[in-house]
Amino acid sequence: MGLVRSMIAATLVAMSSAALAQGALTLYGGVRGGGDFTDQNANDASVDLKSSGAAALSYDWILDDGRQAQVFYSFQRSALPGSVANRTSDIALNIGYLHIGGRVFFDGTPMMSGSYLVGGLGITHFMPSLDGLSSEVRPSMNVGLGHQWIVARQLAVRTELRGYLTLINSNGGFFCSGGACIVKIRGDTLLQVEGLLGLSYAF
């Protein structure tokens, strides 16, 4: 009987490890800040994005060579000062990042508690709320540090600090309506920083 129980326990552990190795879905909440534009329509005045809460979702899976890949999406409801469009109220601006990348643990594996390096490449989607203004898509990347705590067979808690770098056309218009662009950018990049707390479920 003791041998049977041991075999059952070993089987459950193996199944749990296999499930964790196949994939993990993580839901995050956090705060994102930073990011500014130079408005050439207003004598090169600096236009800062509003800091606000953010939500993110990731899916991780183990590759054949043992590395871990990740699809990551993060969303923020930010805002631009209304002055860029001669308005008294702020202009709501949704910012989404969709990246493909992965995680690399400093010591250990995705099935253990530990610290890791995370990152990815993809796109940034800017979506202004003001009627008539176009959305913008730009290439971007993220890199960050994280820590994972295994709290149950299939549950883990993650904390992450990520930095996002978006490439901006320094000579182009932004958020255009017809032929008129309310913000003209001088500069090549947009930098944001995000702190996240997530709950991960492995399957």
pLDDT digits (tens, 9 = 90+) for 25-36: 999 999 999 988
Q: Domains in the chain, ordered, with CATH?
A: 2-202 (2.40.160.20)
The 3 state secondary structure assigned to the chain is CHHHHHHHHHHHHHHHHHHHHHCEEEEEEEEEECCEEEEHHHCCEEEECCCEEEEEEEEEEECCCCCEEEEEEEEEEEEECHHHHCCCCCEEEEEEEEEEEEEEECCCCCCCCEEEEEEEEEEEEEEECCCCCCCEEEEEEEEEEEEEEECCCCEEEEEEEEEEEEECCCCCEEEEECCEEEEECCCCEEEEEEEEEEEEEEC
Per-residue pLDDT, averaged over 162-185, amounts to: 74
Task: Give the pLDDT score at 41.
Answer: 66
Residue 128 above 50 pLDDT?
Answer: yes
Residue 20 above 70 pLDDT?
Answer: no
Residue 182 above 70 pLDDT?
Answer: no
Q: Band the pLDDT of 170: cuts 50, 70, 90.
A: low
Task: Give the pLDDT score at 7.
Answer: 36
Task: Give the pLDDT score at 160.
Answer: 98
Task: Give the pLDDT score at 183.
Answer: 64
Per-residue pLDDT, averaged over 74-102, amounts to: 88
Residue 137 above 80 pLDDT?
Answer: yes
Beta-ladder partners of 48: 36
Which pLDDT tens digit goes with each residue over 82-92?
777 777 788 89
pTM of the model: 0.84
